[in-house]
């Protein structure tokens, strides 16, 4: 037991864990489509059954979908693009800030992205981790602004390049039909705000208030995750 705890403490990585969850959930929702000749797209009914963000269902009391939808994807390409982005950005964020801070930011910005989609998106149901990934980009952007010319250790990312990456992805989202840019914007803005609260793992000075606030964020993220999981389980067993 002690060896397992030590292994998890040293080797556990939330980025890989989230990627694994997304991959498993995609297989669960894609297999029915594959068996019926649906190609590389996930089955729409399965996506709804397993927690896609659908306005009328959320309005009917299934707000847990605002969390579960983050881990669902509509096609192989959708999954591959988001998981590559999550791997590229998430591994850096997790090592620079810490596992628990990455977990908190990913879950909270993912939730706010889904909420933004629910409030402003009229495309039907939405799925995907891209809103939370934009949250990580927002976190990095505010960090580059916060650490520039301050006593804090500068983040090893070029601010101009980061802005260009964010802008190009937002423009792409507006030009290509079917992309939920409301979720992207919600995730980006919430991540940007959280970036002024969350400090890097190497920060030498951290106020008591800031420490408490970061713990509160972790508790919120944990409760949101539990709410999403319990909501999905109850929904599946009530069928």
Domains of the chain: 2-237 (1.20.1540.10)
In this prediction, residue 5 carries a pLDDT of 55
pLDDT one-digit tens code per residue, 57-71: 999 999 999 999 999
Beta carbons of 82 and 22 less than 8 angstroms apart: yes
Catalytic residue among 126, 142, 184, 225: 184
Helix (H), strand (E) at residue 115: helix 99-120
Q: Which residues contact 178 (CB under 8 A, 6 or more apart)?
A: 123
Beta carbons of 107 and 67 less than 8 angstroms apart: yes
Helix (H), strand (E) at residue 70: none
Beta carbons of 77 and 32 less than 8 angstroms apart: no
Is residue 33's pLDDT more than 90?
no
Which has more pLDDT, 146 or 97? 97
Residue 176 CA to its chain's centroid (Å): 21
In this prediction, residue 60 carries a pLDDT of 94
Backbone φ and ψ of 224, nearest 5° = -65, -45
Can you tell me the mean pLDDT for 186-214?
82
What mean pLDDT value characterizes the chain? 89
Catalytic residue among 116, 130, 142, 200: 130
Structure tokens at 71: 């881990």
pLDDT one-digit tens code per residue, 115-170: 999 999 877 899 999 999 999 999 999 988 887 655 455 677 788 889 999 999 99
Helix (H), strand (E) at residue 14: helix 14-35
User: Residue 92: which of 196, 204, 188, 15 has the closest Cα?
Assistant: 15
In this prediction, residue 2 carries a pLDDT of 58
- Whole-Å CA distances, 76 to 39, 93, 106, 110: 9, 25, 22, 20
Q: What is the DSSP letter of 156?
A: S
Q: Is 56 a catalytic residue?
A: no
First to last CA, the chain: 37
Q: Is 184 a catalytic residue?
A: yes
């Amino acid at each position: 037991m002690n060896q397992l705890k030590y292994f998890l403490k040293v080797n556990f990585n939330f980025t890989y864990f989230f990627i694994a969850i997304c991959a498993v959930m995609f297989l669960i929702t894609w297999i029915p489509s594959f068996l019926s000749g649906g190609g590389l797209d996930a089955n729409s009914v399965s996506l709804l059954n397993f927690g896609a963000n659908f306005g009328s269902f959320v309005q009917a009391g299934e707000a847990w979908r605002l969390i579960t939808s983050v881990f669902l994807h509509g096609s192989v390409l959708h999954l591959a693009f988001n998981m590559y982005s999550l791997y590229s950005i998430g591994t850096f964020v997790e090592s620079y800030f810490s596992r628990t801070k990455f977990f908190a930011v990913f879950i909270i910005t993912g939730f706010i992205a889904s909420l933004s989609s629910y409030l402003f998106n009229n495309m039907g149901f939405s799925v995907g981790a891209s809103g939370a990934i934009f949250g990580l980009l927002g976190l990095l952007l505010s960090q580059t602004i916060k650490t520039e010319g301050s006593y804090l250790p500068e983040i090893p990312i070029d601010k101009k390049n980061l802005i260009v990456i964010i802008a190009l992805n937002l423009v792409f989202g507006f030009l290509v039909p079917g992309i939920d840019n409301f979720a992207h914007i919600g995730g980006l803005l919430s991540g940007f705000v959280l970036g002024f609260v969350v400090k890097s793992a190497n920060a030498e000075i951290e106020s008591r208030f800031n420490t408490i606030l970061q713990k509160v964020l972790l508790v919120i993220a944990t409760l949101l995750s539990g709410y999403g999981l319990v909501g999905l389980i109850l929904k599946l067993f009530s069928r």
